[in-house]
């Protein structure tokens, strides 16, 4: 099933402009995002060929099958609710059978967690991004030896320096654990059977050797394995982020000099505002009245700490309004199921 199939077979029952155009935050550089709902032909729906979503390669255009769409609505998914309640000037297709879905009330107190919780997750991601920008990692990966140090007088020196000053190679050395001293090892030299401190350059752990009885260590070494493990995790995450990041957005982050993803923070603050409004009014306003404020965030006109303060204030507001909200605790699944069945039957009876 492709987007062209949906169009050729007249299966699309709802379509609209989404994203920045729906929020009223579009600029001359904004992409055109199209979202919608389709209903599978009856034989495909009843058979094994159920397709819950159809999209283009970039996911700029996405259509959800009616059942999947209603399922996400029942969970108060933010993206799907915003799609359903898109402003009238963004609507492109509203099939008559779909109108009852637009008129149905899906909002519930779940929105505190789906809108607010998602936004809070984005705040955490923004903090992580801020850390990555402020603490870039060298492309050359550190190895085990960089986390090994040798006791010298009242301090310590890196093992590579210690061996270099003695004119020794790590591959000529052997290690042995020191009893009752975790992560501490004796370094030995002089026997060709020693395995080295590490067996190969890309090793992820030290190597232990069999030490002859009576051999004297040339030094006492510690291996900070937990620090090495944390470094490996951070290194992997950092360079995966570099590979996947949107270079244009990252350049914008560098250009405004505030060290945060401005577009992400704009949408985070938007979601927190929407979450509070739903709890207070019982309505979802997709088109944002605070366009200029949000675009100022996108332009990087605020300090990172200011935005975190705004977010924390909105989170506190969300916590205040939902306990007294008149919204139901959760959507009525029985009524949603009845609506789903009636819309599908109406579409099939009209089409066939």
CA distances in angstroms from 302 to 261, 298, 327, listed in the order given: 12, 9, 34
Pick the CATH number of 1-105+331-352 from 3.30.460, 3.30.750, 3.30.43, 1.10.3470: 3.30.460
147 φ/ψ sector (left φ>0, alpha ψ -120 to 50, else beta): alpha
Tell me the β-bridge partners of 152: 155
Q: Cite the beta strand spans of the chain per DSSP E.
A: 12-18, 33-38, 53-55, 61-65, 91-94, 148-152, 155-158, 173-177, 184-189, 219-223
* pLDDT score for 106: 96
Residues near 12 by beta carbon (within 8 Å), at least 6 away in sequence: 6, 36, 37, 38, 63, 93, 95
Token digits of residue 275 = 């979450």
Could you tell me the sign of the dihedral formed by the alpha carbons of 323, 328, 329, 330, in that order? negative
**3-class DSSP state of 67:** helix
Nearest Cα neighbor of 304 from 270, 352, 256 is: 256
Dihedral (C-alpha) 243, 52, 62, 283: value to the nearest 10 degrees? -110
Residues of the chain with confidence (pLDDT) below 50:
254
* pLDDT score for 79: 94
Token digits of residue 209 = 């050797």
What's the rounded Cα separation, in Å, for the pair 43 and 352? 11
What's the rounded Cα separation, in Å, for the pair 43 and 100? 24
Q: Which residue has the tokens 């009245």?
A: 289
* pLDDT score for 345: 96
Token digits of residue 125 = 């991601």
* pLDDT score for 248: 54
Q: Which residue has the tokens 């979802």?
A: 284
* pLDDT score for 252: 55
* pLDDT score for 351: 66
What's the rounded Cα separation, in Å, for the pair 133 and 116? 26
| Residue-range domain boundaries for the chain | 1-105+331-352, 107-136+245-327, 144-225
The model's pLDDT over 121-140, given as tens digits with 9 standing for 90+, comes to 777 666 655 556 656 788 89
The model's pLDDT over 64-82, given as tens digits with 9 standing for 90+, comes to 999 999 999 999 999 999 9
What's the rounded Cα separation, in Å, for the pair 143 and 202? 7
What is the distance between the terminal CA atoms of the chain, rounded to a whole angstrom? 20
Q: Which residue has the tokens 């059977």?
A: 193
């Amino acid at each position: 099933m492709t987007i062209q199939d949906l169009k050729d077979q007249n299966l699309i029952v709802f379509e609209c402009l989404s994203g920045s155009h729906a929020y009223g935050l579009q600029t001359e550089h904004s992409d055109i995002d199209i979202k919608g709902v389709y209903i599978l032909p009856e034989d495909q729906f009843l058979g094994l060929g159920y397709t819950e979503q159809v999209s283009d390669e970039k996911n700029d255009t996405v259509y959800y099958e009616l059942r999947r769409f209603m399922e996400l609505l029942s969970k108060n998914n933010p993206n799907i609710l915003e799609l359903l309640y898109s402003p009238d000037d963004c609507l492109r297709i509203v099939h008559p059978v779909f109108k009852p879905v637009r008129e149905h009330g899906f909002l519930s107190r779940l929105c505190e967690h789906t809108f607010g919780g998602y936004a809070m997750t984005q705040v955490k991601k923004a903090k992580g991004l801020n850390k990555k920008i402020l603490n870039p990692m060298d492309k050359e990966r550190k190895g085990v030896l960089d986390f090994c140090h040798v006791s010298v007088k009242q301090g310590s020196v890196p093992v590579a320096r210690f061996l270099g000053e003695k004119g020794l190679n790590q591959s000529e050395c052997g290690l042995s654990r020191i009893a009752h001293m975790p992560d501490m090892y004796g370094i030995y030299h002089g026997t060709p059977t020693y395995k080295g401190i590490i067996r190969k350059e890309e090793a992820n752990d030290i190597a232990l050797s069999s030490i002859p009885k009576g051999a004297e260590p040339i030094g006492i070494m510690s291996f900070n394995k937990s620090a090495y493990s944390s470094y490996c995790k951070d290194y992997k995450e950092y360079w995966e982020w570099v590979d996947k990041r949107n270079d244009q957005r990252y350049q914008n982050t560098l250009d405004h000099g505030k060290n945060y993803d401005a577009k992400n923070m704009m949408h985070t603050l938007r979601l927190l505002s929407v979450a509070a409004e739903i709890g207070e009014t019982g309505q979802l306003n997709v088109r944002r009245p605070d366009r200029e404020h949000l675009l100022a965030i996108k332009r990087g006109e605020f300090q990172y700490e200011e935005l975190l303060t705004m977010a924390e204030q909105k989170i506190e507001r969300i916590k205040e309004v939902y306990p007294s909200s008149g919204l139901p605790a959760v959507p009525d699944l029985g009524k949603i199921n009845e609506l789903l069945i009636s819309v599908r039957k109406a579409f099939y009876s009209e089409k066939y």
